[in-house]
Amino acid sequence: MLRIVIVEDHPLMRESLQARLVSRSEDIRFVYVGDSLDEAIEAIGSERLDCFILDLDLGDGRSVLENLATIASIEAPVLVVSATATPRAVQVAISHGARGYVSKSSSTEAFMEAFEAVCHGEAYVSPDLAAVLATEAGAGVQLSTQEQRALALYSSGMKIETVARRMDVSTSTAKEYIRRVRAKYAAAGTPLPTKVELYQQAQRDGIL
């Protein structure tokens, strides 16, 4: 029996995903279906999952990186189903532990292929996103994990001192991460002098 979790903040989307999976097989047990990552983790406990289906934007005030890090701690295979379909968003999710990524505009067939792949320990990116990734391979700004985390925290409204505490680094180190982020985007032709512009870019890149 496949053990599945669905964390999605839109009820209709949750019901749709659940119905698609049930139509595939009755040999499925939903460990949790809802909109709370914390409740999902509590429901899972020590149970082994076959697939953790996650929407990147849960409206819970936490960044994409924080949500993926939380799931990584239980070592569950993650399939992202998201309306955010930029190459950067896919790259960020995959580099932080997601095994599969499907946009919400993908076909039912693509979703089921992704689900099957993730349950069998394979990686999967839906064909529409794979084509975009191939076209833009090597393009864009490459941020380190710490730079991405600093960007997510700082652009979401935290003071640099708070960012430093959350990252367990000095204030000067946190400032240096943000300086590097700005320098990399500027070098790519996208200067981001204000916190609002950093926030908007983090959203576009799937970091928030």
pLDDT more than 70, % of the chain: 95
Residue keyed to tokens 């393009």: 139
Cα 9 to Cα 34: distance, rounded to the nearest angstrom: 7
Which pair of structure tokens corresponds to residue 61? 């005030």
pLDDT confidence of residue 138: 44
DSSP letter string over 58-115? Answer: -SSS--HHHHHHHHHTTTPPEEEEES---HHHHHHHHHTTEEEEEETTS-HHHHHHHH
Answer whether 5's CB lies under 8 Å from 25's CB. no
How large is the average pLDDT for residues 76-104? 84
- For the domain 2-135, what is the CATH code? 3.40.50.2300
Question: For residue 4, which of 13, 26, 12 has the smallest C-alpha distance?
Answer: 26
Average pLDDT, the chain: 86
> Quick one: pLDDT at residue 205?
79
90 HSE (CA, 13 A, CB side): 23
The mean pLDDT of 77-89, rounded to a whole number, is 84
DSSP per position, 171-186:
HHHHHHHHHHHHHHHH
How far out from the chain centre does Cα 148 lie? Answer: 12
Give me 48's structure tokens. Answer: 């082994």
The arithmetic mean of pLDDT across residues 16-39, rounded, is: 91
Decide if domain 145-204 falls under CATH 1.10.10.10.
yes
> Nearest CA to 96 among 136, 51, 56, 41?
56
Q: What is the pLDDT of residue 135?
A: 53
User: Which stretch of 25-29, 146-150, 167-171, 179-183 has the lowest confidence by average pLDDT?
Assistant: 25-29
What's the pLDDT at 136?
54
pTM given for the model? 0.68
Sequence ranges of the domains in the chain:
2-135, 145-204
Give the per-residue pLDDT at 63.
79
Please give the Cα distance from 135 to 102 (Å, whole number).
17
> Looking at residues 46-62, what average pLDDT do you find?
87
pLDDT band at 54 (very low <50, low <70, confident <90, very high): very high
Q: What tokens appear for 43 in the block?
A: 């429901």
- Residue whose tokens read 């790519």: 188
pLDDT for 121-175, tens place per residue?
888 887 777 766 655 544 567 888 899 889 989 998 889 999 999 999 999 999 9
3-state DSSP assignment of residue 147: helix
Report which of residues 41 and 61 the model is more confident about. Answer: 41
What 8-state DSSP symbol labels residue 32?
Answer: E
Q: What is the mean pLDDT of residues 178-183?
A: 92
